[in-house]
Chains A and B, each alone.
Chain A
Amino acid sequence: MANSNKVNALAEALRIMLLEEAREADVDLSAKKMQLILSLPDDTLDMSKEKRQQIVDRLFKTASEPSLGELIRVSMKRTKFTESSLAKVTRVPATILRKLKSDSIVPNKVPVLLLRDILNRLQLSFDIAEKAVLKTFTMIQKTELDQLKASPVRAWARRPGEDKGKVLINKTEDTAGRELYENKESLIKYLSQLKHLMEDKKQ
């Protein structure tokens, strides 16, 4: 990049504006912008073969590891539990069980004792469950985060001159405004409790 230590203020402000606007673009505008990226000239730059392979490998690994929902569904078949029979023996409300099966609930929102009972009934070890819980947590977090970031009322919506030309950009933390159980720290604590409870039972 030429003159990388000297940047034109107007061009930089336009770039910042483009980035901020793109986040709020509607479906049609996004499609138009996406087309611009996809129709890049023929001299498209590519990463090295190794780096490309690394991405494909990691994506494959991400998809291949079972989520908690997937793990529960497969284990229910294996142990011949139906939704109602598992709900009955574990005293977990059927609605919660359904949400767990479809990965539509943050795992640490379920009382830890109940999750322990489900895992025990399905004969699942902590190590297997831990990976699945982490995957489901990330799945839900990523989905919610995108919605969170795509929706805030941002500086663009304000009328010009409303605050003398200077506006406050809504710089929320990634986890701001979210429930306590939805942050990674509380998930780690939850998992440590779950591990403890599952090991206690073994002894």
Chain B
Amino acid sequence: MTSSTYNDIVSLVQQKDWKGFEMLYNTYGQKFFSFAVKRWFLTEDEAWEVVYQTLQTLVLKLPIHKFESKKHFENFLYKVFINYLRQHYRRHRKKQSEEVGFTISLQAAFAEDEPATNDDPGSAPELDTQAIREYYRDDVAESPNLVALKCALHQLKPDERDILLLRAQNYTYEEIAKMLNIKNNQLKVKHLRSKKKLIQLLNKKTANHG
């Protein structure tokens, strides 16, 4: 998006011009909607709520806050979007666990669009699946060893880390190849190796602390 689009959106929304709201939706809302459905598995109704709440917060904020730049504007919008996405994602998973017999498995396929394979590098036994389920609830819960996971991730090479994080968000190998400028045919192997390395690091960490 160019700076002039950003300036136009801010100015038109502040003037309560219909075009500004349409531009706001077309520039950000549509992308947020697609991201919430395709990457975070929300239903279309849930994603609609996330987009509406995000844009409504911005519309309410604009009259009383002057953004320094497009970067600050987008930083605000991104944070608000993530907050709502997080709330709805947790609610969505909680509902799934109550209604669908949803299970968190160490062996299930890593990404939603691929079957579990025999060449799976194994599991990370120290990941507390109960804690993941507790995370979906609103009351106080313990995180599923996220600090250990974060440390292990930071020991990977940047491209290994990127592949794992993008794959976890359901990006296809083709999309990841474009984003990271890597050949698609190397990606699946690279993904499996990165996953294996991450699991080894996690297991090593557990053994050391155990």
Interface residues of A (CB under 8 A from B): 1-23, 25, 27, 30-31, 33-34, 36-38, 40-41, 44-47, 51-52, 55-56, 58-60, 62-64, 67, 70, 102-104, 135, 138-140, 142-143, 146, 149-150, 155-156, 158-162, 164-169, 171
Is B193 at the interface (CB under 8 A from chain A)?
no
Check A59 against B112 for contact (C-beta < 8 Å). Answer: no
Interface residues of B (CB under 8 A from A): 1, 13, 16, 18, 21-22, 24-25, 27-35, 37-38, 40-41, 44, 47-48, 51-52, 55-57, 59-61, 63-65, 71-72, 74-80, 82-83, 85-86, 89, 96, 100-115, 123-124, 126-129, 131-132, 135, 138-151, 153, 164-165, 167-169, 175, 178-179, 195, 198-199, 205-206, 209
What are 17 A-B pairs at a CB distance below 8 A? A6-B105, A7-B108, A8-B104, A9-B108, A10-B110, A13-B144, A20-B86, A30-B79, A31-B71, A40-B34, A41-B178, A51-B48, A55-B25, A55-B52, A56-B21, A104-B64, A167-B143
Question: In the assembly, what is the distance between CA of A178 and CA of B110, in Å?
Answer: 40
Determine the chain B residues whose CB is within 8 A of the CB of A104 once the complex forms.
Answer: 64
**Given A63-B59, A160-B148, A155-B52 contact (CB < 8 Å):** no
A170's nearest neighbour on chain B, judged by CB, is B140
Q: Is the interface of B mostly helix, strand, loop or mixed?
A: helix
Which 4 pairs from chain A and chain B are nearest by CB?
A: A14-B168, A45-B34, A6-B108, A30-B75
Check A165 against B145 for contact (C-beta < 8 Å). Answer: yes
**Given A3-B109, A55-B29, A160-B148, A10-B195 contact (CB < 8 Å):** yes
Closest chain-A Cβ to B75's Cβ sits at a distance in Å of: 4
Determine the chain B residues whose CB is within 8 A of the CB of A143 once the complex forms.
Answer: 60-61, 64-65
A146's nearest neighbour on chain B, judged by CB, is B80
Which of A60, A67, A139 is B18 in contact with, Cβ under 8 Å?
A: A60
Question: In the assembly, what is the distance between CA of A38 and CA of B199, in Å?
Answer: 31
